[in-house]
Amino acid sequence: MKINDLIKRSSGALFSIELWPPRTSTSERKLAEALSVFSHVDIDFASITYGAGGSTRDNTHDLVIKLDRQFNLNPVAHLVTASHSEAELRAILGRYRDHGIENLLALRGDPPIEGSGRFEVGEFSRAIQLAEFAKDEFSMCVGVAAHPGGHPDSCSLEEDRKHLAEKLRVADFAITQFFYRSSDYLRLVDDLMHLGVDKPVIPGIMAPTSYSTLQKMAQLSGTEIPATVVERLQPYEDSPEDFKKAGTEVAIELSLTLLEAGVPGVHIFTMNQASTTLDIFEAVKGNLLR
């Protein structure tokens, strides 16, 4: 089902997840273990990431189809403009259409984490162009990314909000980058309303699983980690299990606060870890009002 229709028809908030396509045999086993758990959880949709420069193109496509055919997890395929020609994007979207995939997350893409970090601009330089292309040419339901604290490349928060509003006038919904202050999300939605945009914005939630991972993800995304969260987690830096437990509690508390505020759903960045995601679901399922 298309995500915009799913939101309209839902009697409560959605619960969705993000998955990474595997790159190694070890990560493939980890994903298989996670999927065996997720197949028994009431998940509304699952988005599948796309590596920088299309580095996981085939793996992403294969996982999208697998989720749709084997696990009935209503996949949302990530796709980036970076490093792609219009012909390549048309071919990728055509494959999805042929397999009955209806949902897409349209992204500009990011520079590779490793190497020179050179960013190869595609034939479409902006995510909004991909969103328009996917909707007009393939009748897909399209989501875009939102940054509660502003995109790290934007010159100001005001300009970033205007850019997001422009994307959402084309797209059907947005999913945010992770954040840890509910006020940041609520301000984002309020700013969009003042710009005349009321499309659904689904908050992205990430439970920190280690201090190094949290720092790395924050650096890559440009997300600010509040001092209160750092102070809460830092004492467990050398105790992996305790850190994971505390990080999960942070994610649960944020999810509950947002659900009480009436968000359209919560989107969990799983990092392919089933146990943490399951803990969050069990804690918030009573607030999903299904």
Query: Mean pLDDT over residues 262-278, rounded?
Result: 95
pTM over 0.85? The answer is yes
**Number of other CB atoms surrounding residue 126 within 10 Å:** 16
pLDDT in tens, 134-190: 999 999 999 999 999 998 888 999 999 999 999 999 999 999 999 999 999 999 999
Per residue in 19-40, pLDDT tens?
999 888 898 999 999 999 998 8
Map tokens 């309303």 to a residue: 193
The mean of the pLDDT values for the chain is 91
Give the span between the Cα atoms of 83 and 63, in whole angstroms.
21
Count of residues for the chain? 290
Query: What local confidence, expressed as pLDDT, does residue 22 receive?
Result: 87
Region 234-245 average pLDDT: 93
Q: What is the pLDDT of residues 54-88, one digit of tens each?
A: 556 788 889 999 999 888 899 999 999 988 999 99
What integer pLDDT is reported at residue 52 of this predicted model?
58
Known active-site residue 260: no
pLDDT at 212: 86
Owner of token pair 């508390």: 253
Domain residue limits at 107: 3-287
Is the predicted pLDDT of residue 273 greater than 60, yes or no?
yes
Contact assessment for residue 87 and residue 94, using Cβ atoms and an 8 Å cutoff: no
Residue partners of 118: CB distance under 8 A and separation at least 6? 111, 112
DSSP code of residue 55: T
Confidence of residue 51 (pLDDT cuts 50, 70, 90): confident
Q: What is the CATH number of the domain that holds 44?
A: 3.20.20.220
Which one is predicted more confidently, 221 or 32?
Answer: 32
Single-letter code of the amino acid located at 94 = G
**Residue 120: pLDDT over 70:** no
Report the share of the chain in percent with pLDDT over 70. 93
**More confidently predicted of 83 and 17:** 17
Task: Say how many domains are in the chain.
Answer: 1
pLDDT of residue 119: 53
Q: pLDDT grade, residue 115 (50/70/90)?
A: very low
The reported pLDDT for the residue numbered 53 is 55
Higher pLDDT, 39 or 14: 14
What percent of the chain lies above the pLDDT cut of 90? 74
* Confidence (pLDDT) at 195: 98
| Residue 249 one-letter amino acid | E
Q: Which two tokens mark 226? A: 């509040």
